[in-house]
Structures are given as C-alpha cells and as structure tokens.
Chain A
Amino acid sequence: MQTLKLLTAAGLIGLAAMGSGAIAQETMQIGVQVPTTGSEATYGQDMINAVQIAVDEINAEGGLLGQQVSLVTGDTACDPQQSVNAASRLVSANVVGVVGGYCSGATLPTLQIYGDANIPFIIAAANSTQLIPENPGNAFMINSTGADQAAKAVEFLSAQGAATLTIVNQGDAYSQDLATLASEDWTAAGNEVVSIETVNKGEQDYSAIVTKIRSTNPDAVFWTAYYADGGLLIRQLRQSGYQGIIAVGDGSNSPQLFDIAGQAAEGVFAFSNPTADFLPQAASFTETYQEDYGNAPGPYAPLAYDGMKLLGWAIAEAGSTDADAIIEVLRSADGQEWLAGPISFTDVNTLARSNFIVLKGEGGAWTRADE
C-alpha cells in the first residue's frame, strides 16, 4: 500500500516536472537520521512518517526559499558505528539540515560529523545529557533531557509511596545516563537505591536478575532502556511474582511493549515526552497521520514533526541555506507554540522546559496517569 502511494507520488512529481518544462526545479535536501532497521525501527519509521507530513505541508505552501523540499534518509540502526556511516552519507548528499536522532548512543558520534560539516541538526528524540558537552553548537535538542526525566521519575515514584528502588539499564549512553541521574536524584530525595543493574542488549533470559530483584524486594523497579528488552524484563518480573511498582523510561513507552509483555504490562508506569494522544492541539496532525499511514502516530511523531517544521521556519527566517544564519535563527527561537508546546533553547541548545508526562498501562494501552 505504502509502496503504491510512493509510486503514485513519484509519478505525480514526474508529471509535475514535465509540466513545468523549462523551469529548473531544484529541490532542497533535508536529512533524516533515524533507525529504520533493528530493534528500534518502529520509532524510526514513525519519525520519518511525521517528518514527511511536515514536508508535505511545507511543499504545499510553496516549499522553502522557492524550492521544494525532499528527504534523504540515513539509517542508524541504533548502532554507533552504523550511525557514523549514515551521517557521512547525509553529509555527502549535501543536505541543508538534519532532523532526527533517536538513540542517544547512536546520535553521539554523529554530532562531530555534522559539526565539522557545519550542518544544522535538530535532535528530535535523543535526550541523553551526554549529548550536551559533545555538541559543537550546531545541534539543537527539542526533547527534554534525561535530567528532566529523572527528576520527574523521582517525584512521581516518591509520590506513589516508594522508598526503595532498583534501577535496570543496558549500559548504553541513553539508559545509563538516565539510570545515573535517577539514582542521584533518588538518593538526594532521601530514599534508598537498592542496586543499579546492567543487562546486555538482546539477551532473552533475565531470570537471574529477576531473582536478585525479588530477593531484595524493592518498592519499585525502574527500567531505563528500550521497550523490546523492557517488555521481556517486565514479563519475567511479573511471572516470578514481583508485585512492586514497575516504571519505564521514555524509550519504552511504545504500544509494542504490550505485545511483548502481554498482561504483565498492566499497571506499568511510563515517563513520556508529549505524544499525540495526549496533546489536544495535535488532533488534526493525528488525523492526517492516520489517513496517510493507516495507523496512529507513535510516541516521537509530534517531536519529529516539530523538528522539521522548526528547521523549515529557521531556513525561511534566515532567507538562505547558509548554516550559520540558520543556526543563528534557531538560537533566537523564543517560545513560539509548536505541536508539542513552546520551543526556546538554553545556552547549551537544550529545550528550556521539561515536557515529561506520566502514563500508565491499562487494558493494553497507555493512559495518562498524572492528571
């Protein structure tokens, strides 16, 4: 179906090109850097879809600087090595700017590449605080950082009456960062961290760690990594009879968590960046997305859409494709309302407010838990 649509679209573009005849129609290339394969491919495809909607809207309004916008995809597979290749590919495709960045670990090594090439980079999802010191100044993070999430997690879990906490991460930039921050905040709040556990990505059997958790029986378990392995852990925790609170970070707030963990995902709390379901102003975006792709927008769709729109705005304001001018405009963003809320940046190019909400698994879907 999607292929058919693409073909139709390609055909139409072809016709349009023939129609315009002599007018040289140059397109402006924008890079999208996300994982389209591997365990996080769902998120990546979702982000591409959302960026495409933004591009369609921009093109319908006449494009940018008189040029139509087209996308070039770089697949990071959520792997630091592959993301370097993807970034180099986008650089050699002469993109004007890049939107995306999902896995922090895979985004980290690309910062330098875009920095050296002086290409504006809107990081739509990745939010490890480790990205901040590595940012050469051309990257802008429009998702709240791990520090904001850790603060939210500690505040919420304390309010739920938990005093002891076990944190499980996967040893990658994103989940380890969140684990460390949450652990510091949790101790600072006067609570006890029972242990911080690290598991291998791609491991299927968590029984040993589950037994360890059950033997110390903390009030809450906080999984800071991604949904695919998180689903397995949650399932095995509940199977073993663990009855405490289970909370997961924003890398696990996917609907797929319910496929993998099944019944065990009921009652699990997730910290989440603003998703389309919980943004009243996103109703028409959700409708367009549903129409174009046949399913509901995923968790990072609004941010990816905003990232593209923000970049488009900056290019239009700058009046040229000159990177320095675009970056200057992005720095001056002063809290205009976008789909996921207002955007303005701190001195280190991070979002100047916390955008986290709390969700709860109920009946095989996420519902809002903090309102």
Chain B
Amino acid sequence: MTAFDVVMQQIVNGLVLGSFYALVALGYTMIFGVIKLLNFAHGDLYMVGGFVGFLVLSAISGITGGGWTGVAISMFLSMIAVGCLGVVIERVAYHPMLRAPRLSILITALAVSLVLQNTVLSITHGQYTAFGADFGFGGVNLGNVFITYNQMILVGIAAFLMIGLEVFVSRTQYGRAMRAVAIDKDMCQLMGINVSGVIAVTFLIGSALAAAAGTLAGAYYGSVWYFMGFLIGLKAFTAAVIGGIGSIPGAMLGGLILGFLEAFGTQLPGIGSEWKDVFSFAVLILVLVFKPTGLLGKSEQERM
C-alpha cells in the first residue's frame, strides 16, 4: 500500500467509525438540548439496542437469514423497543427530577447506566454473545483501498437516519416544538406546547438512534457484550462536545471528526497506536479551551 492508499483507507475507516459515534452522539446532544441533562445511560441504551437486535435476529434468522434483510428488521424492532425503554427511563427516573438541581439528575443518569449494565451482566454472565449476522467479506477494491459492501450499507443507513432526523427536526411541527423547548421550556408551557410530550419524543428518538447504532455494531463487528456501551458512550459524548453540545449537525460533524482523528491518530509516524486516544482527547481539550461552545454550538446567553 502506498501512502495515498493508506490515507484513503483510513478515511474509509474513519467514516465508518464516525458514523457510529455520530448516531450515538445525536441522542446525547438532543437530550442535552431539551432538558440540559448529560444522559450517561445513553451508551448503555446502545448496548441494550445491540442485545435486542441480537434477540430479534436470532428469532427471525430462520426466515430471513442472517443477511442485511434480517439485520434491517432487527434494527427497526430494536429501535422501537429501546425507544420505548428510553421513554420509560425518562418517565420513571428523570421526570420527577426535572426541577431538582442539575447534579441530582446527573447522578440519577449514572445510576440508570449502572442498572442497565448490571441487568444485562447478570442475564448474560458477562459473556460475549456472537451476533449471528452473516454478511460475507465481499467488497469493492479500488486499487489497494478495500471497501466492503457492509461498510457502504452501514454508512448509508447512518446517513439515512441522520438526514431523516434533520428533516424531522427542521420541517415538522414536533421538530419545531422540540427546538422551541430547547430554547425556553417555561415559555413553551405558557404557549400551550405539551412540553413533557416533546421531552418524551426526544428520548424516544435519541434512544432509538442509539439502538440502531448498537444493532449495526453488533452485526458489523460480530458480537455484543454488556460493557460495549461504556467506551462508545464516552467517545460519543466527546463527539457531541467537539461538535457543540445541543447542536444536531454538530453531533454529526463531531462524530465524523472523532472517527477521522482516531483513524489517523493510529497512523501517526513514530507514535504508537496507544497514543490515539490521547490524540483524540487532546483535540477535545483544545476545542474546550479555544471554542468552549464546540464547533457548531451557539453561545448561550445567561438569562437573569
């Protein structure tokens, strides 16, 4: 492989990885936008999404096979199930805390994360579960750059979901309500907007996107386990902050930037791959120092 091939291949790698980060970061950023909560349980919803996808696929693979049809159906059902789980979590754990100090609800989010992780841990006994998707290794070879069909489909699905979300938020009544609630919750209430309905829809969509990413990750990488949400939760949070937390296009941009940083961070000459995370998090610190609102975030005026 020439240096050019390596760069091209790392761009492909960064794009795939960045798509996962972006899908998870979107939920983080939407929920933060609407109720100013860093939902630390979000990575675990990704994990639960992976397991639900696995269960659905095991149930239907007899009929659909383990190919993309089966994975698409399991992704869809997993999105519905985990979306509902997200709404239930919001109603049970976060809703009573909305007027409490921010720190209390943040701690509640950590607790929810532990509950989800440990529930799956006790069911699976911490074992890795083979996902059972069966794609084959086919792909397109452009010179020395190899792009598998799976990678194309994966990035395609991620792009489709992100465009869908963008259309939903910018063009529909609900989307407008969501943006309004993000700006001023109390005023929305006075204007007759069903604020808790909007919050519920936000959790539904955010969790569903995490579930989509979880199912796709399980299918693409081949296995799921109870702790798979931890690292990606952290990375998605980083992506959301880089892009500007609260900003939907920012989360997509942040996810892709982080994906590329990791891909190229591994490749830095003379520096071992163990430095790649140092590199990514250093960029996070730089962004926070020089542009605390993130790349696409708007600075929020303190209201008296």
- The interface of chain A, by Cβ under 8 A from chain B, is 36-39, 41-42, 45, 77, 171, 195-200, 202-205, 207-212, 214-215, 217, 228, 231-232, 235-236, 238-241, 256, 259-262
Contact = CB atoms under 8 A, between A and B. Distances in A.
B91 interface: no
Contacts of A209: 266, 273
B210 interface: no
Given A171-B274, A212-B267, A38 B126 contact: yes
Given A199-B273, A204-B217, A239 B148 contact: yes
Contact of B231 (A36, A39, A198, A200): A200
A211 B13 contact: yes
Contacts of B6: 211-212, 215
B221 A205 contact: yes
B163 interface: no
B79 interface: no
Given A211-B9, A235-B222, A256-B127, 10 more contacts: A38-B126, A200-B231, A202-B231, A204-B221, A205-B221, A209-B266, A211-B13, A215-B5, A236-B221, A261-B222
A259 B129 CA distance: 8
B101 to A, nearest CB: 30
Contacts of B179: none
B12 to A, nearest CB: 8
Contacts of A199: 273-274
B146 A241 contact: yes
The 5 closest A-B CB pairs, nearest first, are: A198-B274, A207-B13, A208-B266, A259-B130, A215-B1
B223 interface: yes
B230 A205 contact: no
Nearest to B276: A208
A204 B233 CA distance: 13
Describe B's contact surface by its main secondary structure. Answer: helix
Interface in B166-222: 217, 221-222
B227 interface: yes
A197 B225 CA distance: 24
A85 B222 CA distance: 33
Interface residues of B, number: 41
14 contacts: A38-B227, A41-B125, A198-B274, A204-B217, A204-B221, A204-B228, A205-B20, A207-B17, A208-B10, A208-B13, A209-B266, A211-B10, A232-B222, A259-B223
Nearest to A214: B1
Contacts of B273: 197-199, 208-209, 212
B160 interface: no
Contacts of A228: 128, 223, 225
Which of A171, A195, A203, A256 gathers most chain B CB within 10 Å? Answer: A203
